[in-house]
Amino acid sequence: MRMHRRTLLALAVFTGLTAPSMALAADDTIKIGLLATFEGPFTVLGEDGERGAMTAVAEMNGTVAGKKVEIVKGSSDASPDSAVRAARKLVEQDGVKVLVGPLSGDEGIAVKDYAKTQPNVTFINGTSAAQDTTLRDPAENFFRFSTDGAQWMAGLGTYAFNDKGYKKVATVAEDYSFPYTQVFGFMAEFCKAGGHVPSKSWVPIGNKDFSSVIAAIPEDVDAIYVALGGADAVNFLTQYQQGGGSAPLIGGSITVDQTVLTSKGKLRDVLKGTPSAGPTADTNDAPAWKTFVEAYKKQPGAFPSPSLFAHGYYVDMKATLLGLDQVGGDVSDGGKKLRDALSKLSFDTPTGKVSLDKNRNAIADIFLTEVTEGADGNLMNKLVKVVPQVNQTLGIPEDEFMKLGAVNRDNPSCP
């Protein structure tokens, strides 16, 4: 009997606690879910993603179509199942109809698959940049206004071969879909130009000790292409410096991002002069970019310059808000009107014009950069060249591009 009463009490308390979150949003607010990595190895990246998203919200003064924007945060740890768990929580418990996120490659593919089971919810990507999130088997309600990892590499392979004169390059990258996509993007151009990649090392995400991997890189390569993120990149670069590594580096987009460039320690020395490419360049002179940097810096804990995560989340959140504005904030029809508006949306971002292709993947400008030390001692990505309006098939006709096959550890290959 006593047990029974206790159980009832516990149930009552539990209901009391969960009820408020079940309550429907009031008419004058719009709930937007924000999914990013607020835990695990990509915590810094996720936090900067949030700053970017909040910059977009602040730009609209926190309102859209006269309704107040309410951001509900969901946290993942960069693993696909944690991302789906967080997305489910946002959609099924918090009742969001619009969700922005996630951050990392495998997460994007998992959330895209989840999106198929929730046709009335509109998903807009964060910064996840695996190719197959939108290229193969896309979801009708998943939109990516940020570009993918292969697009980010536009121009880099040719630049490394022609301007830098690297003929043989070894690659070191994490073992999941986003780095596969980045290596694909780099090699697509580099191999076509006549370069060779004799050795590819795939390391588990969250690996700490890279010294054995570094030792296994052939000694006769001209440069090493590194596509590692966050703490992994910091560890690799530090150990490369400690081990007296001498081959120059080529950076994946997130390897020479502000999340890594602002790290403390001696790794700065090996990074200077590293060429890379990505959706942003720190020394971009365009007025729109400068305005964005100023707005971004108002966010608490901001980096000297927004990382590509801040940029990606900003662009996707901005697109979301513009779309919502066009439909008057009305998602009562299961978001159909919103999705129509998003599909046709084309707008000017701090990094140039963005529009979507038929798979709802962005076509945008890509920036070729090189790491330099700024006047204030911070490391910066100096703009070398802008590659205008890169599409997902990298300018190759679609049927030809699809024949290249899905990206994985062994594809592409040019030893």
Partner 1 sequence: MSLLEQPSSSSLSAGGMTRRQAWGLVGLVAAAVMVWLVFAVWPDWLNAILISKKAFVSAILNGITLAGLYFLVASGFTLIFGLMRNVNLAHGSLYLLGAYIGYEVTNHTGYWLLGVAAGFAVLAIIGVVMQVFVFRRLEGDDLRQTLVSIGISIVAADLMLAVWAGGTYQITTPEWLDGALTLPIITAVRSNGVSVFLTYPLYRVVVLAAAIVIGVGLWLMLNRTRVGMMIRAGVDDRAMLQASGVNVHAVFAVVFAVGAGLAGFAGVVGGSALSVAPGEDVRYLLASLVVVIVGGMGSITGAAIGALLIGLAEQIGLVYFPTYGIVLTFVIMVVTLAVRPQGIMGKAR
User: Closest CB to partner 1 among 57 and 217?
Assistant: 217
- Written as one letter, the residue type at 308 is L
Locate 272 and state its tokens.
Answer: 């200077």
Options 3-11, 58-66, 262-270, 306-314: segment touching partner 1 (CB under 8 A): 262-270
- Residue of 12, 26, 216, 406 that binds partner 1 (CB under 8 A): 216
Decide: residue 317, CB within 10 A, 0-12 exposed, 13-18 middle, 19+ buried: buried
> Within 27-56, which residues bind partner 1 (CB under 8 A)?
38-41, 43-44, 46-47
User: Closest CB to partner 1 among 231 and 324?
Assistant: 231
Site string for partner 1, 264-303 (x = CB under 8 A): xxxx---------------------------------x--
Locate 85 and state its tokens.
Answer: 């768990």
Q: Does 208 bind partner 1 (CB under 8 A)?
A: yes
Q: Does 207 bind partner 1 (CB under 8 A)?
A: yes
Locate 137 and state its tokens.
Answer: 């088997």
Cα separation, 311 vs 321, in Å, equals 15
**Could you tell me the smallest distance in angstroms from the CB atom of residue 45 to partner 1?**
9
**Could you tell me the smallest distance in angstroms from the CB atom of residue 220 to partner 1?**
11
Q: Does 206 bind partner 1 (CB under 8 A)?
A: yes
CA distances from 89 to 129, 134, 389 (A): 23, 23, 36
- Residue of 4, 19, 61, 219 that binds partner 1 (CB under 8 A): 219
Q: Does 203 bind partner 1 (CB under 8 A)?
A: yes
> Within 240-259, which residues bind partner 1 (CB under 8 A)?
242-244
**Could you tell me the smallest distance in angstroms from the CB atom of residue 292 to partner 1?**
23
**Could you tell me the smallest distance in angstroms from the CB atom of residue 395 to partner 1?**
32
Cα separation, 383 vs 369, in Å, equals 5
User: Closest CB to partner 1 among 120 and 212?
Assistant: 212
- Residue of 194, 218, 273, 388 that binds partner 1 (CB under 8 A): 218
CB atoms within 10 A of CB 395: 11
Cα separation, 246 vs 273, in Å, equals 13
Cα separation, 157 vs 300, in Å, equals 36
User: Closest CB to partner 1 among 16 and 244?
Assistant: 244
Best CA proximity match to 281, nearest among 293, 269, 272, 273: 293
**Could you tell me the smallest distance in angstroms from the CB atom of residue 296 to partner 1?**
18
Site string for partner 1, 138-177 (x = CB under 8 A): -------------------------------------x--
**Could you tell me the smallest distance in angstroms from the CB atom of residue 101 to partner 1?**
17
Q: Are 238 and 244 in contact (CB under 8 A)?
A: no
- Residue of 235, 274, 320, 391 that binds partner 1 (CB under 8 A): 235
Cα separation, 35 vs 42, in Å, equals 13
Q: Kindly list the residues in this chain that would bind partner 1 in the complex (CB under 8 A).
A: 38-41, 43-44, 46-47, 175, 201-204, 206-209, 211-216, 218-219, 230-231, 234-235, 238-239, 242-244, 263-267, 301, 409
